[in-house]
Amino acid sequence: MTDRWRAAANVATLGNLLLGIGAIAYIVLANPYFAMLLIALGVAFDGMDGLLARRSHTPGGWFGRIADSVADAVTFGVAPAFLVGWHAGQGSPWATIGFATFAVAAAVAILAVARLCYFTLRGFQHHDFVGVPTPQTALAIVLFSLWWYLPGFLGAAPPPFLIAVGLVSLAMVLPVRYPKIRRGSLLRPAMAFTAIVAALALVPVQFRPAAGTPFYLFASAMSYAMAAGLFLYYFLGPFTVKRSIGPSAKGF
């Protein structure tokens, strides 16, 4: 008999995959605003997947790890890469650095897939992550897009956007340990806060608020709060991990 918690975790993984496919479709249909919201929702489904998997009495197997990695590769690797690459076709000032934009987009996808391949083969044995996990990377890319393009709280600025995206992409494969956000984790409240303010930032921008309007100012403030939560994970996370190795119930 299939463990109901394991079955529910598989459903959450499927939901994450469908959200990633939807995000790619909306980018192709020139609605990156909604695509960013779907990517953020994918982070919530990924977290739910892990929570449900840890409640299961059935040991995790290869199918679960591969399915989780495929879903994460689509939602947190390919979809953000499409989001980055989409900028290149939006005219000045992006068109002048189109090659660099596509190169960074390709790096996002390649490094995310490389990281997830490592997890599937070996990384699941660790109690913590090696490198920044893909969901946090995807949220960071969404944040940079909010700041430097859509709706551009800090103005249209391709170089800072591409540099920031390149750096967080490289952080996925650096040999630095980051904590898994489980019960008792010191950063769990901060990550829950980050998820909430990400939604609060992304929902108002769906209505394309004009600069200076209350919705615009509220979304901008929430983006800065989102940045604070991500900053805590990126720069304090390595100091909160326990240096031990063993089997893990959840992937990236």
Q: Return the HEC string of 110-172.
A: HHHHHHHHHHHHCHHHECCEECCCHHHHHHHHHHHHHHHCCCCCCCCCHHHHHHHHHHHHHHC
Res 248 pLDDT > 80 = no
Q: Kindly indicate the confidence band of residue 6, based on its pLDDT and cuts at 50, 70 and 90.
A: confident
- pLDDT one-digit tens code per residue, 16-70: 999 999 999 999 999 999 999 999 999 999 988 878 877 776 666 667 778 899 9
Task: Give the pLDDT confidence score for residue 252 in this predicted structure.
Answer: 44
For helices 134-148 and 98-121, the axis angle rounded to 10 degrees is 160
Overall fold of domain 4-240: Four Helix Bundle (Hemerythrin (Met), subunit A) (1.20.120)
Q: What is the pLDDT of residue 249?
A: 40
Peptide bond before 59: cis, by omega within 30 degrees of 0? no
pLDDT score at 237? 93
Query: 35: which residues sit within 8 A by CB, 6+ positions away?
Result: 22, 23, 24, 26, 27, 79, 82, 83
Q: Does the pLDDT at position 145 exceed 80?
A: yes
Q: Which two tokens stand for residue 60?
A: 């995790």
Nearest to 175 by CA among 236, 219, 132, 221: 132
Question: Does residue 139 contact residue 230 with C-beta atoms inside 8 Å?
Answer: yes
Single-letter code of the amino acid located at 188: R
Q: pLDDT tier at 1 (50, 70, 90 boundaries)?
A: very low
Q: pLDDT value at position 164? A: 97
Structural domain boundaries in the chain:
4-240
Bigger pLDDT: 245 vs 194 = 194
Would you tell me how many other CB atoms lie within 10 Å of the CB of residue 75?
Answer: 32
Rounded to whole angstroms, how far apart are CA atoms 179 and 250?
12
**pLDDT one-digit tens code per residue, 162-212:** 999 999 999 999 999 998 887 778 888 889 899 999 999 999 999 999 999
Nearest to 125 by CA among 238, 244, 43: 244
The residue among 251 and 183 whose pLDDT is bigger is 183
pLDDT digits (tens, 9 = 90+) for 86-112: 988 777 787 788 899 999 999 999 999
This prediction's pTM: 0.91
What local confidence, expressed as pLDDT, does residue 182 receive? 76
Confidence label for 243 from pLDDT (cuts 50, 70 and 90): low
Query: Which band of pLDDT confidence, cut at 50, 70 and 90, is reported for residue 245?
Result: very low
> Which of 68-82, 124-138, 205-219, 227-241 bottoms out in mean pLDDT, i.e. has the lowest?
124-138
